[in-house]
A and B are shown apart, each in its own frame.
Chain A
Amino acid sequence: MDLTLKVWRQKNREEKGRLETYKVTGISEHASFLEMLDIMNEQLIKEGTEPVAFDHDCREGICGTCSLYINGEAHGPDRKVTTCQLHMRMFKDGETIYIEPWRSAAMPVIKDLIVDRSSFDRIQQSGGFVSVNTSGNTQDANALPIPKMNADKAFDAAACIGCGACVATCKNSSAMLFVAAKVSQFAYLPQGKVEAKQRVLNMVEQMDIEGFGNCTNTGACEVECPKSISIEYIAKMNREFLSASCSSES
């Protein structure tokens, strides 16, 4: 496959940045999208151009770092995949492909296609955990009875890899799906219930401080989420938030 790539280049946080056009040739349709970018970068190095910086780590859809907005969609045209799981057979020979970083005030570009996603970390640090001592005295997992449905719901929410596709794709740059997943994964479990009220209030507050937008229920996030997190978790978070803000004891 021969392709024309329009790639976002930006030296650092401060620089304005621009789209550059690169041509790549002889790409296998079995290559992954990131392999295609590797080939492009080798080509750029040979030409004496600085290679394009992009985030990646596991390359198997679990770390969530490979955040690219490809041809107008988070993680490209395929569904339920991260960029590293996207294959070139989803594209046509001769196609022009736009490759841009996530766009959000709360996730500014650091360099080229890499964004600063520490806003997600700060949201997590504000409440996305359970404060129990787990070292050395781990309980038998079956000691606490948990209804199957709750276990399933918590597990589905816990599938979120924090990739940020929901933010990137949302017209409001809202982080509701991410935060909802992180709130819900604990809210459904007895261990998480202890701090549930404080958790949801703190995490929503941190989300707002970071400058993410407000949800307008377009549903775009659940379509683009590589882990199929449903917006029913957003409703769950809204319930948690409402009940916590109406009844918080502290």
Chain B
Amino acid sequence: MLRQITVPIIAILVFLGFWEWLVWVNGWPNFKMASPSDLPPAYSRYWELFLTMGWQTLWRTVVGLLLAVVVGTLIGMIIGFSRLMRDALYPLLVGFNAIPKATLVPVISLIFIGQHDFNTVLMAFMISFFPIAVSVGIGLSTLEPEYRDILRSLGASKYTIFTKIALPKTLPEFFGALKVSVTLAFIGTNLVEIVSPHGRGLGALFKSGETNGDYPLMFAVLIALAVLGIVLYYAVVFLEKIFAGWAEREGS
């Protein structure tokens, strides 16, 4: 337990030290590359902004992610249980996923003009549901028939089979996908926050730093984003331990 906490902290400190040293050795000015020692002043000057903007980014990412979980699981169930729907939907899903999401920002901001919160959540959702849908779909469609038959032969309903067997059996794949989706959802949220005029959230704060030539602020935002990303990621890891801890192999 102690090791699990101290080792990452030491790694982060080493990283910050290396960064500071790199800037110092090269004599980079602030407008080229800020150093860690420039960050505390930036945080203490704008801490209120960081809190409100950080919250904006966090809740929109989480809501987008929740949407992605619900819709992704539903799509996964559809393509997992029906061969026909799998054949029908797969190419569409892959095609949609292949579209660079940056190109969709102007599209959705034209459809839903001024709905900044909505657009941000929508983008976080669109960018992150695909891994969930695919993993749930594959998990369900590769369920060995015997697993179904032990309950089906007792007259259990499809719903019972889903909740007692298919769903728990898919959980490890689901959480694997969710870890990918967390990061993607962050990218989606920030994309909209940065690109939209009059945006909010950490992305907008980053852009205002850029507009004002406040480089330490920009780097401070990047670090704040990284921290939020780590928090969300480990929240997922925590849930995974609770709900799919059985899938972990001993001694690894």
Chains A and B form a bound pair: no
